[in-house]
Amino acid sequence: MSMQYIGNTNKNNVLGRSIVQKFILYIVLFSSTVTLVLIVIQLHGDYRYGLDSIEKSVTQIEVSYLDGIIKSLWLSDTELLQIQLEGILKLPDMQYVDVVYENEIVAKAGEIQAAHVVKNEFLLSYTYGNKTIPLGRLHIVYTLENLYDRLTQKAIVIIVSQSIKTFMVSGFIFFIFYMLVARHLHALASYANALDLHTLEKPFVLMRKQQNRIKDEFDILAEAINEMRMTLQASYHQLQGEITERRQVEESLRKSESRYRVLFEEAPISLWEEDFSAVRKCIDQLRSSDVTDFRSYFTIHPESVDTCAQLIKIIDVNRETLKILGAGSKDLLYRNLDTVFGQKSYEAFREELICLAEGKYNFELQTVNKTLQGNEIQVVLGLTVVPGYEDTWSKVFVSLSDVTKRMQAEAELSLYRNQLEELVQERTEELQDKTEKVEKSSKALTYLLEDVNNSRDKLQKVNSEYDTANKELKEFAYVVSHDLKAPLRAISQLTHWLSEDYSAGFDAEGKEQMHLILQRVKRMDGLIDGILRYSRIGRIKEKEKRLDLNLLVEEVIDSIAPRDTIQILFENKLPVVFKDSTRMEQVFQNLLGNAMKYMDKDEGIVKVGCVDEGAFWKFSVSDNGPGIDKKYHEKIFQIFQTLRPRDEHESTGIGLTLVKKIIDLYGGSVWVESESGKGTTFFFTLPKKKGEKDEKL
C-alpha cells in the first residue's frame, strides 16, 4: 500500500522514524526498569542474607569467645588472648580485631584494608565479689567487600541475560509497529511539517490503491487536517489584528511601569512595596473561626501578631528608605529587619492588622523604628492597599515619614513655652514689686538710671577692648600659622634637597647633622600647631552634641595605632556626654599618646575607666610605664615642659597643657597620681549635664 499527498516532500525524513524510536525507547526503558527493580529486590535479599551471616558471626563471637577473652584479660594471659583473636579473625568476612584498654591496644590481629567495613564493639568487664571491674573494649571490624563482589557478579549475569531478551522482543515490536502505523504517520507528519502561511490553500490528499474501502483512522485524520487548515487560514487574519493591538497595550504597560519605577525610587519619602496575601489568608481563617472582634483577639493572642509579621513579603524599597534607616544596600536592610522593627513597632503593626481586618485599606499611624545603627526615630506610617488588590492584598504600599526632628522641636517648643510662662509670671510679680518701690521713690529711680548709664558706658568700653584683643589674637594666630610656618617649610625643603643632591659629599657626622635639622624643623612645626590649638581653646565656641565616649576612644586608639606589645583596655563602659567631639578627642589622644610614647615595658598595659561621682564623671587613664616623680606632678601641666630630652622622646610639651585647659574650660579638674617606677594614672573630672547617662546601666 502506498501513500501520496500534495505538499513539499523535501523535508528531513525523520518524523516517522522518531516516533518508532520513542516507542522502542519507552519499551526498552520500561523493560529495563522492571529488570532493574527485580534485580534490586533480588540483590537486596542476597545483601540482607549476607548481613545476617555476618550478624551470626558476631553473635558467635559473643557466645563462644567473649568469656574466654575476659578470662584471658583477667589472668593477663596475652598469648592465649592473641590465639583467641586470631581464631575470631578466621570467621567469614572478618578483617581486624583488637582489645583496647584505656586507649592502648593490648592485643590485635589482622589489618584494616578495605574501604567498606562495619565496626562493632563489646565492653569487657569482670565481676569480682560484688564489684564490676572494666577490662577494656573488644573492637571487631568485618569487611563487606566479599559480599559486594558476590552481589556484583550475580548482577552482571542477570543484566546480560535480561538485556538479550529485551533486545529480541524490542526488535520484533519495532517491525510490527513500523509496518502498521509509523510509515503512515510519517507521511502525515511530513505534510504538517511543510505547512506554513503560504501553503494553507493546498489541501492534504491521502492516496491509496484501494479506493472503495472502509475509512480508517488515517482517512479521518486527513479530513480533520483539511478542516483545521481552513480554520487556521480564517484565524490567521483575525490573529494579526489582535497581535498588533496587544503589542500596543504591552508597550503602553512597559512605559507605565518604567514611569512607576522612577517615581518609586526617587520619591522623597520612604516607600515599601509589600505582599500581604499570606496575612489576608490568615485573617480569613480567623474570620471563618467566628473571630469578629480582632482588637480583643490580637490583644489576647500576641503570638498571632508575630505570626502575621513573619508572613509579610517585602518586594522592594526605595532609596529614601535606605537613607532614613542608615542602610548601605537593600540586602543589608533585609538582613537586619529585626533591628528596624523592634518591640516598640509591635503596637503599630497590631493596629495595622486591626485596620486591615476591619476593611480600612488607607490609613496612617505614628510609631517608633530604629536605624541599623540603633538610633530610634519617630515615624508616621501610612499604609495603602493598591486599588484592584483589595481581595488579595498582594500589593500594598507602606510609607514612612521621619518626624523625629519635628517632634523634638515641638517638645522643645512646649518646654520653652512653659518656661516662658513661668518667667513671665516671675517677671510680672517682680515688676509689680518694683512698681510699688518706684512709686515710693522716684528719686531712687533717677539715681538708678544714672548708675545704669555709667555701667553701660563702662561695659561698652570693656567690649571694645575685648574686641580689639580678640582681633589681635586672631592676627597673632595668622602670623604663627602663616609667617612662621612658611620659613619652616622652606628650611625643610632645602634640607631635603641638600640631603639628596649632596649625599655623596657628606660623611656620617654630616648626615647626622642634616637629620637633626629635619627633626628640629618638625619639632618647631609641632610647637606651632600646639600653640594654635592652645590659643583656640576658649576663644572659639565649639558645638556641643551627644557624644558616646566608648566610640570616640575606639576611634582615637585606631588613629594613634598602638604597638603590638601594648594593650589598651576598658575597665568599664564609658558614659554618653554632651561635649565637643574635637576637644574630647584631644584629651584622650594626648593622655593615651603619652602613655604609649613613654612605655618602657616589654608588655605595656594602658587602662581607661570612669566612675560616677554624683554631680560629675571621674575619668582615669593609667599605665604600667616608668612613672613620674612627685616633684614633677605640677610641672608637667605647664606649657613647653617635658621630663625627658626632646631628642630622646620627640615632644612639644603642649599636650598636657591642652588637656588641662580643656578640662578647666568645662569646669572640671585634672591631676596625676604616680611614683617613679610604679606606673602613672591621670585623673580628670567633667561636671554632668542634663541627659547624660552611663550606657552600661
For 574-605, what is each residue's pLDDT tens digit? Answer: 999 988 887 888 889 889 988 888 888 888 99
In a domain, 124, yes or no: yes
In a domain, 227, yes or no: no
In a domain, 331, yes or no: yes
Look at residue 12 in the predicted model and tell me its pLDDT. Answer: 45
**Per-chain mean pLDDT for the chain:** 78
Please say if the pLDDT value at position 523 is more than 80. Answer: no
* Percentage of the chain modeled with pLDDT above 90: 11
Mean pLDDT of 395-417: 84
In terms of domains, do 632 and 663 share one?
yes
In terms of domains, do 519 and 549 share one?
no
DSSP string, 124-155: EEEEETTEEEEEEEEEEEEESHHHHHHHHHHH
Q: Could you tell me which residues are beta bridge partners of residue 369?
A: 377
Mean pLDDT of 162-182: 76
Q: How confident is the model at residue 692 (pLDDT cuts 50, 70, 90)?
A: low
In terms of domains, do 71 and 169 share one?
yes
In a domain, 78, yes or no: yes
Least confident of 25-39, 61-75, 190-204, 501-515: 501-515
d(CA 692, CA 697): 12
In terms of domains, do 466 and 549 share one?
no
Q: Which residues contact 592 (CB under 8 A, 6 or more apart)?
A: 553, 556, 557, 560, 568, 606, 608, 621
In terms of domains, do 551 and 649 share one?
yes
Q: CATH number, domain at 303?
A: 3.30.450.20
In terms of domains, do 554 and 645 share one?
yes
φ/ψ (deg, to 5) at 270: -70, 125
- Which grid cell is 149? 563482589
Per the structure, the count of domains in the chain is 4
Contact 118, 54 (CB under 8 A): yes
Please say if the pLDDT value at position 445 is more than 90. Answer: no
In a domain, 121, yes or no: yes
d(CA 383, CA 379): 13
* Highest mean pLDDT (candidates 63-72, 147-156, 357-366): 357-366
- Which grid cell is 114? 578495605
* Percentage of the chain modeled with pLDDT above 70: 77
Instruction: Summarize pLDDT for 600-657 with one digit per residue, the tens.
Output: 888 899 999 999 998 899 999 999 888 888 877 777 877 545 554 444 444 555 778 8
Angle between helices 655-665 and 581-597 (to 10 degrees): 140
In terms of domains, do 521 and 590 share one?
no
Mean pLDDT of 233-260: 77
Look at residue 472 in the predicted model and tell me its pLDDT. Answer: 58
Least confident of 116-125, 150-159, 420-429, 687-696: 687-696
* Highest mean pLDDT (candidates 422-426, 538-542, 684-688): 684-688
In terms of domains, do 677 and 565 share one?
yes
d(CA 642, CA 122): 78
- Burial string for 462-471 (b: 16+ CB within 10 Å, else e) reads eeeeeeeeee
- Which grid cell is 386? 493598591
In terms of domains, do 489 and 355 share one?
no
Q: Given 177, 194, 211, which residue is the final one in a domain?
A: 194
In terms of domains, do 174 and 129 share one?
yes
Q: How confident is the model at residue 150 (pLDDT cuts 50, 70, 90)?
A: confident
Look at residue 122 in the predicted model and tell me its pLDDT. Answer: 86
Q: Using alpha carbons only, what angle is made at residue 621 by residues 618 and 626, rounded to the nearest 5 degrees?
A: 140
Q: Given 371, 402, 433, which residue is the final one in a domain?
A: 402
Q: Given 387, 402, 417, which residue is the final one in a domain?
A: 402
In a domain, 52, yes or no: yes
In a domain, 255, yes or no: no
Mean pLDDT of 331-353: 85
Contact 572, 610 (CB under 8 A): yes
The domain in which residue 454 lies consists of 441-536
Q: CATH number, domain at 663?
A: 3.30.565.10
Q: How confident is the model at residue 442 (pLDDT cuts 50, 70, 90)?
A: low
Least confident of 147-156, 443-452, 459-468, 574-583: 443-452
Please say if the pLDDT value at position 685 is more than 80. Answer: yes
Mean pLDDT of 421-432: 78
Q: How confident is the model at residue 493 (pLDDT cuts 50, 70, 90)?
A: low
Angle between helices 442-478 and 508-536 (to 10 degrees): 160
Mean pLDDT of 246-250: 80
Please say if the pLDDT value at position 482 is more than 80. Answer: no
Instruction: Summarize pLDDT for 276-322 with one digit per residue, the tens.
Output: 999 999 999 999 998 889 999 988 988 998 899 889 999 898 888 88
In a domain, 217, yes or no: no
DSSP string, 572-583: SPPPEEEE-HHH
In terms of domains, do 563 and 510 share one?
no
Mean pLDDT of 63-89: 84
Please say if the pLDDT value at position 572 is more than 70. Answer: yes
User: What are the C-alpha distances in Å from 681 to residues 583, 595, 609, 624, 694?
Assistant: 20, 9, 11, 9, 22
- Which grid cell is 15? 518524523
In terms of domains, do 627 and 498 share one?
no
Look at residue 151 in the predicted model and tell me its pLDDT. Answer: 81
